[in-house]
Structure formats: structure tokens, C-alpha cells
Amino acid sequence: MKKTTPHFSVLMSTYGKEESEHLDAAIKSIVTQSSLPNEIVLVKDGLLTERLEDVIAKWVQIFPGLFKVVPLPENRGLGVALQEGLKVCSYNIVARMDADDISCPERFEKQLKFLQENPDVALVSSWMACFENNPDEIAFIKKMPQRHEEISRIARFRNPVFHAPAMFRRSEVEAVGGYAERRHNEDYHLWVRMLLNGSKITCIPQPLYKARCNSTLFKRRTSFQYTISMVKLQKEFLNMGFISYPQFILNIIVRIMAYMLPITMTRFVRTRLLRL
């Protein structure tokens, strides 16, 4: 007997500094999937530009009833925005999506099939194909481990799962309190809480998602503010009992060194050597 495709939501957030063309392309990649979502929950994280509002209005008109638009009066950051969006998702299976990236046409179909065949898995992500300006010109593939055991081990050193291509069971995310109110690393914080709660996390070893990986991204990932946020996060992991004190010290040293390296060197190490 053929299994029916489960209903699912897509959860995404946009804010005022987003490019309207990027949001338009992101939504287009969702509504042209081989397995279409039953709803798209789009959080407006603070005031948007007129162009962004026009893009949202266009797609809402084309697909009446598909979108749930959640407006926030002020910009609160991705963690808060996604938590507010999660509250109004109608279905237990939720696919994440960033507002400036592209989902490959069979992404949802493959992830849904994987979750159906593996009911013990709480979350499945994928590899990412990275581009700078043109989604058809892939610069490199960012990879993550596939098996839960390896993901759990690597999580003690670094974020082991790509957030934007993730598809998860909402019940497992809500069991650990959902997204925390954080400006950075809201996904890493969530994954660790899920791992500590016994959730099984995996990754499909295929690039089912195209992400923008330009110089702005690397500057943000090596900024002083981001580094301080990561140091605080490692301290939380230590207090949770997820990492040991020697591991905590090692993680702090590595992150401070990354902050001190020139952007060009950091980019080379992350993309060409580590594929991060």
C-alpha cells in the first residue's frame, strides 16, 4: 500500500535588510517543489521595505490560503521570529527555509520520504551548495556528517547541522522549549538541547539546498559580537554538562583564533579545507 505524503509547514523569516529579489527567488523555489507544502509560515521580523512587502503580497495573491504571515512590531532576531512562527505552524513536520536562499526542486520530497522511512528521526538536514551571486554557479559544497552518532560527537566541537535545509518534527523541538531568544547560534543551541533530550538527528549526504555564501557572511561569522556570543554559548554547554571543561577551553581558544585570522584566510580554511 502506497504511503500518503504527510502534511507539512515551511517556516521562514525575513527582515528589513533583506533583498526583495532574494526573497522572491526563495519563495519561488518553495512553490515549485515536487512535494508542495500545505502552508508557508512567513514571519516579518520588524518593519519591511515596500519592495519586500510587495513580494509577499504578490505570492499571497497567487496562492491564497497558503501563507500565514506573522508580523512582529520590531526586529527581535531570528530565534524569536522562528519561535513565534513555530507557534502557528499547523503540522508536526516543519521545513526551515532562509529568505535569501534556494531549495532544490526535490528537497522536500526527499526529506519527507526519509522521515517517513525513519520514524525515530527527529530532524533531517542536508548538504548545501554555496554560491555568491548566481545560484547556477556553485562555488563549493558544504558538507556535514550523516549519522546521528557522528553528529552528536561533532556537536561538542562545532555546530554539526545546517539550519536552513533542516526538516524536523515540531513535537521534538517543542519538547525542549523550541527556539531560544538569541541573536546568534539559535540553531546550535536548539540542536544541543535536542541531543541531550535523546532526539535523533541526521543528514542526507546530498546538496538539496543552495545557500548564499559571500564575503558578508564570513565577516559576520568572525565578528567580535559573534565570537562573544559563541563563547557564551560554549559556557552554557559546559553548564548543561554537554561538554567537559578541557573541551570548553579548547573550543574557546579555537574561536578566538578564528576571530583573529584575516577574513580571506578564514574563508579559505572554512570553505576549501573544512567545507564549513
Instruction: Choose one of 213, 231, 263: the last residue of a domain.
Output: 213
Q: Is residue 250 part of a domain?
A: yes
At 220 the pLDDT is: 54
At 226 the pLDDT is: 74
At 272 the pLDDT is: 44
Q: Which domain holds residue 259?
A: 214-276
Rounded Cα–Cα distance for residues 266 and 242 (Å): 27
Instruction: Choose one of 191, 213, 235: the last residue of a domain.
Output: 213
Within this chain, do residues 108 and 198 fall inside the same structural domain, yes or no? yes
Within this chain, do residues 193 and 227 fall inside the same structural domain, yes or no? no
Within this chain, do residues 53 and 80 fall inside the same structural domain, yes or no? yes
Q: Is residue 183 part of a domain?
A: yes
Q: Is residue 3 part of a domain?
A: no
Within this chain, do residues 203 and 226 fall inside the same structural domain, yes or no? no
Instruction: Choose one of 162, 196, 213: the last residue of a domain.
Output: 213
Within this chain, do residues 69 and 206 fall inside the same structural domain, yes or no? yes
Query: What is the per-residue DSSP string for 88-146?
Result: H--SSEEEE--TT-EE-TTHHHHHHHHHHH-TTEEEEEEEEEEESS-TTS--EEE----
At 74 the pLDDT is: 95
Rounded Cα–Cα distance for residues 162 and 203 (Å): 9
Within this chain, do residues 209 and 221 fall inside the same structural domain, yes or no? no
Within this chain, do residues 111 and 187 fall inside the same structural domain, yes or no? yes
pTM over 0.85: yes
Within this chain, do residues 123 and 30 fall inside the same structural domain, yes or no? yes
**Spatial CA neighbour of 98 closest among 154, 164, 159, 31:** 164
Q: Is residue 156 part of a domain?
A: yes
At 230 the pLDDT is: 85
Q: What's the CATH code of the domain at 69?
A: 3.90.550.10
Within this chain, do residues 167 and 249 fall inside the same structural domain, yes or no? no
Q: Is residue 191 part of a domain?
A: yes
Q: Is residue 174 part of a domain?
A: yes
Q: Which residues of the chain have pLDDT under 70?
A: 1-4, 214-223, 258-276
C-alpha cell at 73: 512590531
At 273 the pLDDT is: 39
Within this chain, do residues 50 and 107 fall inside the same structural domain, yes or no? yes
At 228 the pLDDT is: 83
Q: Is residue 2 part of a domain?
A: no
For residue range 171-204, list pLDDT tens digits in order. 999 999 999 988 788 999 999 999 999 999 999 9
At 102 the pLDDT is: 98
3-state SS track over 238-258: HHHCCCCHHHHHHHHHHHHHH
At 5 the pLDDT is: 78
Within this chain, do residues 144 and 240 fall inside the same structural domain, yes or no? no
At 56 the pLDDT is: 98
Percentage of residues of the chain with pLDDT beyond 90: 78
At 271 the pLDDT is: 46
Rounded Cα–Cα distance for residues 215 and 225 (Å): 17
Within this chain, do residues 182 and 225 fall inside the same structural domain, yes or no? no
Number of domains composing the chain: 2
Rounded Cα–Cα distance for residues 79 and 58 (Å): 26
At 227 the pLDDT is: 78
Q: Is residue 204 part of a domain?
A: yes
